[in-house]
């Protein structure tokens, strides 16, 4: 048996035992407090510089530290661009323009039909021929029924608010394309669309079903159209006739569309409405294809063709040159990309 004795320690007081019994095994409540019973090893020398706040932020958040400021800058740029030019987001950069705006109130001539041509050569212009398709009224009664319905004003109308009625010639059967109400609803929805004429703050529209409107959007039979719009060029046409106050829409075209217009029948009907209403609000002249391969201007006679050469044949002395340009169909004054 060894006689070596363990070194004697001073007995701990009651206060010392109480203070130590409530602290963790390896940590103290107050890490800065000095434990008289424990010796602290010397702290090693640091070989690296102390990390900065930015460094700590980057090491903590990783790739987010770079993504957050970049996203913030992009957001600010988008907002500034939208505020600076709010109109550019709604139309294409190369959207076609318009002819000169004129006053139609004193004009009683038919608007929207090319002048008389020599002979019957229009029959050989395939782009203007009426396609095969559904049935339509050949001869109506020459009177029109008002389709009941009114709307609130659409558009700002800083210069003019146009009132209109929706009417269908007696003898025209609309059941094949949804009925009278369906026709009226498409007229309303087309004119209320932000791609239509109300994109221009000068114009607004409001549908009425009584009184004396600014114009009457009138779906009309084949032979009555020829009386209202003329038939100097032997092709099915629509027109605006201020003498009778009517935007006269050709029912055969409404049913069958046009060979040259490569869009669906719904798009062609929107084109009919927008083009002829364009005449009614003051855009009397027609337009050529401006950019080869671009969208056709709404005031181009897309019923006859979307190529300048096709239309120039019908009216050699007109505004459309024989220059080989061909556009894509377009039913809107202010098309979007």
Instruction: Return the structure tokens found at 46.
Output: 């640091």
Q: How far apart are CA 232 and CA 275, in angstroms?
A: 20
Which residue is listed with tokens 């800058």? 73
Nearest to 113 by CA among 326, 307, 286, 289: 286
How far is residue 299's CA from residue 301's CA, in Å, rounded to a whole number?
6
Phi, psi at residue 294, to the nearest 5°? -85, -175
Got the DSSP string for 4-25? PPPPP-PPPPHHHHHHHHTS-S
Q: How many whole angstroms separate alpha carbon 272 and alpha carbon 240?
A: 11
Q: How wide is the angle at C-alpha 249 spanned by C-alphas 314 and 180, nearest 5°?
A: 160
One pLDDT digit (tens) per residue for the chain, 337 residues: 555 555 555 555 555 555 555 555 454 555 455 555 556 556 556 555 666 666 666 666 665 556 566 666 655 554 444 434 333 333 344 567 888 887 654 555 676 665 554 445 556 667 788 999 999 999 999 999 999 999 999 999 999 999 999 999 999 999 999 999 999 999 999 999 999 999 999 999 999 999 999 999 999 999 999 999 988 778 899 999 999 999 999 999 999 999 989 889 999 999 999 999 999 999 999 999 999 999 999 999 999 999 999 998 888 888 899 999 999 999 999 998 5
Tell me the two tokens of residue 71.
């996203």
Cα separation, 287 vs 100, whole angstroms: 10
121 three-class SS: helix
- Assessment of whether the complete model's pTM goes beyond 0.75: no
Per the CB < 8 A criterion, the answer to whether 129 and 259 are in contact is: yes
């Amino acid at each position: 048996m060894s006689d070596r004795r363990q070194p004697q320690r001073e007995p701990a007081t009651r206060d010392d035992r109480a203070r130590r019994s409530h602290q963790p095994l390896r940590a103290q409540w107050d890490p800065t407090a000095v434990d008289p019973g424990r010796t602290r090893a010397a702290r090693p020398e640091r070989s690296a510089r102390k990390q900065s706040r930015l460094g700590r932020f980057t090491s903590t958040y990783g790739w987010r530290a770079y993504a957050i400021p970049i996203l913030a800058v992009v957001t600010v740029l988008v907002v500034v661009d939208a505020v600076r030019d709010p109109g550019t987001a709604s139309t294409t950069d190369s959207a076609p323009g318009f002819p000169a705006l004129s006053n139609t109130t004193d004009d009683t001539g038919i608007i929207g039909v090319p002048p008389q041509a020599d002979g019957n050569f229009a029959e050989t212009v395939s782009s203007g021929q009426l396609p095969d398709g559904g049935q339509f009224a050949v001869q109506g009664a020459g009177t029109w029924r008002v389709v009941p319905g009114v709307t609130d004003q659409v558009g700002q109308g800083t210069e003019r608010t146009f009132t209109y009625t929706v009417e269908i010639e007696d003898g025209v059967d609309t059941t094949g394309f949804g009925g009278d109400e369906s026709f009226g609803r498409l007229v309303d929805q087309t004119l209320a669309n932000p791609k239509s004429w109300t994109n221009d703050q000068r114009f607004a529209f409001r549908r009425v079903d009584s009184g004396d409107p600014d114009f009457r959007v009138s779906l009309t039979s084949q032979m009555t159209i020829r009386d209202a719009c003329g038939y100097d060029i032997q092709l099915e046409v629509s027109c605006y006739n201020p003498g009778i106050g009517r935007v006269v829409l050709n029912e055969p075209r409404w049913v069958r569309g046009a060979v040259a217009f490569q869009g669906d029948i719904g798009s062609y009907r929107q084109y009919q409405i927008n083009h002829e209403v364009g005449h009614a609000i003051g855009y009397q002249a027609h337009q050529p294809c401006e950019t080869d391969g671009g969208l056709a201007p709404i005031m181009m006679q897309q019923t006859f063709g979307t190529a300048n050469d096709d239309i120039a044949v019908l009216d050699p002395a007109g505004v459309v040159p024989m220059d080989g340009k061909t556009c894509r169909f377009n039913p809107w004054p202010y098309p979007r990309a």
